[in-house]
Structure 1
């Protein structure tokens, strides 16, 4: 019943508002909602007439960062919308929020052309974009709200891994990334937002407010290059 924890492996990362030292063996990367519905042509955001291209910005930095983190023993968690086909755990207020005018295509409804159902688990719509490679050892958690901690096993998984620090990436910076990060902060995890590995289709002022509040109240902000530089110089 007692498993010896791995020895600490400390690294120090340049960040704002100050540098942070974390234990790689107790750190995970959570990648939020890098899914076709948000980041791909013919996905939900594209169908809504919103320019989805900003949500693709994290793809290239994540392509560089993910292999480096995995090689360092950091767990990668894909935290994605993955609705039940019957939407039985989605209350009316949540369905209304994503179809505010009562018309158009909302959660669980088929997209034109492909027929993929919006953010439904195991559909093309909810799949991670092809450009981001998932490995067998990666962990997948379905979520059903803006925060990935609500009504999901995420917290239990993190605690079983012995996690103390979470690196956050994905979309949208000011929505699902931010609110998953704030809930993690309230639960006692150290939170580091990897700025260039996050993006949003919201106006620029939303990003500015998010970064300001993360730095002021909820954690730290860094860049993927700073993380990779720290991994090249571990301070044991």
Structure 2
């Protein structure tokens, strides 16, 4: 039996980032647009005492832990995209190596421990990691909300198609951040 029953968690996907990868130039404009919406979402979740979980790529650094990942992102050329959405002292952190936040990570067990039945996804990249994570959440019988103005994309046309697939094929709620309400 889970230790606590919180029902909902916000999951921030791959936003602790150095933007030192092949598609970064295409991703950066979108990331700049979504950081304020993610910051607002995190502030609302924290105020309502909703757990926030960061599921972040390890960038191939197999000895990395979340402190090293955060430090590397803050030392990178785009620290301004990381600073407003940094994990606070209550945030949980799961390091991932592949697209899905669930693939070979302890996330499913963590959510079970917390009693989470509903995940609210934000982060990047909509047409990749967010899409695959929403699918994996769906097949685990979790309710899924994707915050459309808090997900960044590389290819906007694919991102729009991915959001529609999540809504239609996975039953995900696709909502703007201002429409996400956390019960206090």
Residues 163-201 of structure 1 deviation map (CA, whole Å, 9 limit, x = unaligned): 100000000011011101110100110001010010112
In the other structure, the counterpart of 1:184 is 137
User: By how many angstroms is 1:158 displaced?
Assistant: 0.4
Which structure is larger by alpha-carbon Rg, 1 or 2? 1
The correspondence for 2:107, drawn from 151, 154, 165, is 154
In the other structure, the counterpart of 1:15 is none
CA contact (8 A) 1:63 1:132 kept: yes
CA RMSD of aligned residues (A): 2.5
User: By how many angstroms is 1:85 displaced?
Assistant: 3.5
Q: Which runs of 4+ in 1 moved over 2 A?
A: 35-38, 43-46, 48-51, 83-87, 123-128
CA contact (8 A) 1:80 1:126 kept: no
The correspondence for 2:10, drawn from 5, 14, 29, is 29
Residues 104-132 of structure 1 deviation map (CA, whole Å, 9 limit, x = unaligned): xxxxxxxxxxxxxxxx6524445681221
- What secondary structure sits across from 2:85 in the alignment? coil
Choose 50-59 or 132-141, whichever is displaced more.
50-59
In the other structure, the counterpart of 1:212 is 164
Length-normalised TM-score, structure 1? 0.66
Q: 1:125 to 1:44 in 2, by over 3 A?
A: farther
Structure 1 unpaired stretches of 5+: 7-24, 88-119
5 Å-filtered alignment, 1:122-161, equals 122-123=68-69, 124-125=71-72, 129-161=82-114
User: By how many angstroms is 1:56 displaced?
Assistant: 2.3
User: By how many angstroms is 1:86 displaced?
Assistant: 5.2
Task: State the distance in 1 between where 2:94 and 2:73 align.
Answer: 12
User: By how many angstroms is 1:70 displaced?
Assistant: 1.2
Length-normalised TM-score, structure 2? 0.83
User: By how many angstroms is 1:133 displaced?
Assistant: 3.1
Q: 1:182 to 1:138 in 2, by over 3 A?
A: same
Task: State the distance in 1 between where 2:99 and 2:40 align.
Answer: 27
The correspondence for 1:44, drawn from 5, 10, 21, is 21
The correspondence for 1:59, drawn from 32, 35, 44, is 35
